[in-house]
């Protein structure tokens, strides 16, 4: 088998609260240096409504992921996609590296709001009050994101594609998966808000990279995020483009 056939493919997964567009600049950077990339559209709202949100997301996200004779995947999940990466890996099969990008770690048997309460109790309290009043989250405004995404065009694009959710989304229980750590994994921290998850990943012995940036740094400096992803992939000696460093 030649290098082209065995080359690993990046799969860039957006959060259930955002959209695939957040990854497009990084995908372009990766392709420019020869990596194969897929950016699935995970549209759980188009799936059957009688199954859990997380299951709809997984089925939608994996529907268009192509397979090969020797599939090797580098699956990077941003933010709320993180807890679902093991379910994604289970479904697509093959040789897989999971990269959690400013993302929560899996929390089988607990809800999203439970996980938020464990990490940031005050935020969980505010969200519960918000949901009691009929609110949805995220409800970010342009002003909320000016520092995180300085470019107004990028900021408008993100806000226009947000997928605000209500209490039922945040209180559903994540899938029971006691063996979720069996996949090789790494962590890319973008913002201070995910330092707890990054520290937990590092304590597990996972390769961990920290950028002093914002939660949507993929839109602000896609080259830096792409370079960090490549560095983490290289730390596992995964086959990349012809001529790329092997790690």
pLDDT tens, N- to C-terminus, the chain (247 residues): 444 557 899 999 999 999 999 999 999 999 999 999 999 998 776 555 788 999 999 999 998 786 555 589 999 999 999 999 999 999 998 899 999 999 999 999 899 999 889 888 998 999 999 999 999 999 999 999 999 999 999 999 999 999 999 999 999 999 888 889 999 999 999 999 999 999 999 999 999 999 999 999 999 999 999 999 999 999 998 888 864 543 3
Predicted local distance difference test score (pLDDT) of residue 180? 93
Query: Helix, strand or coil for residue 136?
Result: coil
Find the radius of gyration of the CA atoms of the chain: 17
Alpha carbon separation from 239 to 39, 186, 230 (Å, rounded): 19, 17, 11
Strand 72-78 relative to strand 95-101, pairing: parallel
- CA 226 from chain centre, in angstroms, equals 14
- Selection from 97, 101, 65 nearest residue 83 by Cα: 101
Domain range annotation of the chain: 3-108+177-234
Q: How many C-beta neighbours within 10 Å does residue 122 have?
A: 9
Between CA 161 and CA 92 the distance in angstroms is 26
- The fold of the 3-108+177-234 domain, in CATH, is Rossmann fold (3.40.50)
Say what the pLDDT of residue 48 is: 59
Residue partners of 50: CB distance under 8 A and separation at least 6: none
Cα distance between residue 214 and residue 29, in whole Å: 19
Structure-block tokens of residue 108 = 């089988």
**Within a 10 A sphere around the Cβ of 53, how many other Cβ atoms?**
19
Give the integer Cα–Cα distance in Å for 152 and 219. Answer: 11
Tokens of 63: 């529907």
Strand partners, 99: 76, 186
Name 231's Cβ contacts closer than 8 Å, sequence gap at least 6: 209
With CA atoms as reference, report the closest residue to 95 among 26, 177, 7: 7
Q: For residue 221, what pLDDT is reported?
A: 97
In the DSSP assignment, the letter for residue 110 is S
What is the structure's pLDDT at 90?
A: 92
């Amino acid at each position: 088998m030649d290098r082209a056939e065995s080359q690993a493919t990046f799969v860039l997964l957006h959060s259930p609260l955002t959209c695939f567009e957040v990854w497009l600049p990084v995908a372009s950077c990766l392709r420019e240096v020869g990596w194969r990339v897929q950016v699935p559209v995970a549209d759980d709202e188009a799936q059957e409504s009688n199954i859990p949100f997380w299951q709809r997301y997984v089925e939608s996200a994996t529907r268009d992921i192509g397979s090969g004779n020797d599939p090797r995947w580098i699956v990077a999940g941003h933010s709320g996609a993180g807890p679902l990466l093991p379910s994604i890996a289970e479904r697509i099969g093959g040789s897989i590296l999971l990269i959690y990008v400013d993302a929560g770690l899996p929390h089988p048997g607990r809800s999203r709001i439970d996980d938020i309460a464990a990490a940031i109790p005050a935020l969980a309290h505010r969200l519960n009050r918000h949901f009691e009043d009929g609110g949805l989250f995220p409800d970010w405004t342009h002003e909320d994101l000016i520092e995180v995404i300085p470019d107004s065009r990028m900021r408008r694009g993100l806000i226009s594609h947000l997928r605000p959710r209500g209490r039922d989304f945040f209180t559903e229980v994540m899938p029971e998966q006691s063996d979720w750590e069996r996949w090789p994994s790494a962590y890319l921290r973008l913002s201070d808000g995910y330092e707890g998850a990054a520290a937990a990943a590092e304590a597990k012995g996972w390769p961990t990279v920290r950028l002093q940036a914002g939660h949507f740094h993929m839109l602000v400096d896609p080259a830096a995020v792409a370079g960090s992803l490549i560095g983490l992939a290289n730390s596992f000696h995964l086959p990349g483009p012809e001529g790329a460093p092997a790690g």
